[in-house]
Structures are given as C-alpha cells and as structure tokens.
Structure 1
Amino acid sequence: MYYSKETIAQIVDRVHLSLHDFDSSTFDLNPPFNAEAAIIAFGGQITAKHTDFTALNYSIGEVRPLQPYSEKRFEVSIPFDEYPPRKNFTLAHELGHVILHYQWADQNQWEKNCREIEVLQRNLSPNRIEYEANYFSAFFLMPENHIRSDVSRILADASMSSNLLIEQLAEKYNVSLKAMEIRLSQLGIL
C-alpha cells in the first residue's frame, strides 16, 4: 500500500496524539519530539551497530521484527556514532517503517508484511517506501503548523538570513541542518 503525503501527515497526527495519551509528561504535543522514546513506547528497542560502508547497499538504520514471545515487538539498529540530530531523524524514519509498512499492531499482518517488505525492497520500488518513511520522519519531528508558527515568530522579531533561520529551527527541533533545510523547502518557506 502506498501513502499520500496527506495521509502520512494524518497518521503522524494520530501517532502524536496516541503518544500524548500514553504518557503526556514524556510526549508533549510541542517540539522537539523524541523519536527514541516513541520507539520504546510502541514496543521497540534500539541497538547500536557498526555500519559496513563497503557493502553495496548499506543502510544507516534498520528495523526488524522480534519474536512474538519477546518482550519487545521490534528492534531498530542505528550506527553507534550517529550524530544526535541525525540519529533523531533516523529513528523517526525507522518508526515510520514500523507504523506505515509493517502494521505493527497486528502480529500476523506484521510477520506477513516483514516478509513482503524484504521482497519489495529487493525487487520493486524501494525508493517509494523510503520516501514515505522520510516524510513520516519529517512530519513527526517537524510538523508544518509548528514550523510555520516558529518561522512567523522568528521573522517578526528580526530579519535574518536563511542560514541563521535554518540553524535556529534545526536546534529547536533536534534535527540536522540539512533535514531542516529540506523541510523548509518542502513547505515553500525557502
């Protein structure tokens, strides 16, 4: 199943609300959003790995299901030395795969989708599911309404260069400069 950007945004809104309902002290409805805490809340665990950059198709992050009898439902692996803002985006990206592509809530569907996603990534259109996970991550960490509000507030206080705007917002949202630049471009702000 492919998702439109609008559908992904609606799913992210529901994810934010469900996390807030789960634990409002950890999951405020205002940025910055903590992808690591979200993964744990959804039953995942995070492990560090050494990335093999010599592999043809190395990945920064990976998600895999854990056995049904495991206390945790899935595991996300990321490089042990990941730059913290990049780490937050990568974790949210992998959470996007869990929510959008693996349908984690239904164990039978989860196992079936895990097998199908592996085939899809090898044979069909891996870029589509990667784009969807990237959109999920961007919408999760940098919601449009918050970004637009912050940009309006910041620019009302002072005129500044786009580089300084990107820096301030990237720091606030705990994302990399590149992720914020791309998000601001997507929203037509830059």
Structure 2
Amino acid sequence: MNIKLIHSKVNAVLKAASPITLPVDIESIAKKRGLDVLPYELGPDVSGLLAIKDGKGTIGYNSTETRVRRRFTIAHELGHYELHKEKSDLFVDKQFIYRSQNSPITVDHQIMEHEANYFASCILMPTDQVRKELEKMDIDLVSEEGIKHLAKVFEVSTTAMSLRIDKLGFF
C-alpha cells in the first residue's frame, strides 16, 4: 500500500475543500471533485460502487445502509476515483467478497480495496482534527465512552474510529 501517495491525495482533496468542519461533508467533497453521488438500492451484499465513463465518475451508495456506513462508502469510492481511476472503470464494494477470508479477488485488487479504505479513513478522520478533538476530551480515550464520543463527532462507526486512532498511534 502506498501510504505516502494516499496522504498526498487526501491532503490535496481536503485543502481544495477547506475549511474543514466536522463531520467532514464527504458527499459535498466528492461532488466538488466532479463526481455524481446517488443513492441506489444495491441489495444486501453491495455497499457501493464507482462507475467511470468518459472520465466522469458516479458514486452509487446503498440507500438502505446506516448513515455512517454510507459516508464511509462514499469516501471509499472517492478513494478509488482519486487513486485508481486509470486501472478500471468500475469498482463494486461487495461485502461478501472484500470482507471475507475466502475472497476470490486478486492480490492487486485487494491492495486497491485496502488503499481505498485507508483513504476513506484518512479523509473522514483527518489527523489534525482527530488530534484537536483528543486534546479537548476529558474522558479516557481508550474507554468505550471516549471512542463513542469521537465516532459521533466524526460521524463514523466506533470500529472505524478505533482503527484510525490505533493507526495514528494515539492508543
């Protein structure tokens, strides 16, 4: 995974969208990047997709999923657009494939999925904003209460928040 490239892309996208307020308005950011963002009924196994035609991208997200899941899906698909648009014209986030131990997808495809997830995490929970929120807290960060509080501020799942804090080395 090319972490340096991902950070560079995230920083460029956030800079173009500044000022950043919390929670990050990921749908607005995607639209400013020239993408259409549309709800779809994608069934129980598909969270979202990115389709690119003639250089124009459309993000479709599963309208039946929770708001935090939809936000992460939009950020994930934006990650594919920013990082991988030259590699494919269709990306589909199938839960049963990408979140399964028995995934039939290639190693290259798995890397792209991990990169898109990391991009989503970084853009929804920017490092500087996470640090500022942690400095304001008077509750124990590693407590369930602390993680829930931060997840609410950033409008992400508690799992995503825990993973981001761990990746940043704040635990």
TM-score band, normalised by the shorter chain?
Answer: 0.7 to 0.9
2:154 matched to 1:173? yes
In 2, Cα distance between the equivalents of 1:5 and 1:67? Answer: 28
Q: Does 1:93 align with 2:67?
A: no
Identity %: 26
Per-residue Cα deviation, 1:126-185 (whole angstroms, up to 9, x for no partner): 11001100111111011122212221221xx34466211111111111111111111112
Runs of 4+ in 1 over 6 A off after TM superposition: none
Mapped contact 2:40–2:61 kept (Cα < 8 A) = yes
The question of 1:62 aligning with 2:49 is answered: yes
C-alpha change, 1:101 and 1:167, in structure 2 (3 Å) is same
Which SS does the other structure have where 1:61 is aligned? strand
Choose which of 38, 54, 78 in structure 2 pairs with 1:47: 38
Cα offset for 1:80?
1.2
Which residue of the other structure, out of 144, 152, 165, is the alignment partner of 1:163?
Answer: 144
Could you list the runs of 5+ residues in structure 2 that have no partner in the other structure?
A: 93-103
Aligned CA distance change for structure 1 residues 153 and 125 (closer, same or farther; 3 Å) = same
> For residue 38 of structure 2, what is the amino acid of its counterpart?
T
Higher Cα Rg, which structure: 1
Aligned residues: 160
Aligned to 2:58: 75
Please, what is the CA RMSD of the aligned residues?
2.4
Query: Normalising by structure 2, what TM-score?
Result: 0.81
Q: Distance in 2 between matches of 1:143 and 1:13?
A: 9
More helix by share: 1
Alignment partner, residue 6 of structure 1: 4
- TM-score, normalised relative to structure 1: 0.74
Letter of the 1:188 counterpart: G
Distance between the aligned counterparts of 1:116 and 1:148, measured in 2?
A: 35
Amino acid at match of 1:40: K
Q: Which residue of 2 aligns with 1:189?
A: 170
Q: Describe the shift of the 1:185–1:45 C-alpha distance in structure 2 as closer, same or farther (beyond 3 A).
A: same
- Which structure carries more strand by proportion? 2
Query: Which of 88, 94, 98 does residue 114 from structure 1 map onto?
Result: 88
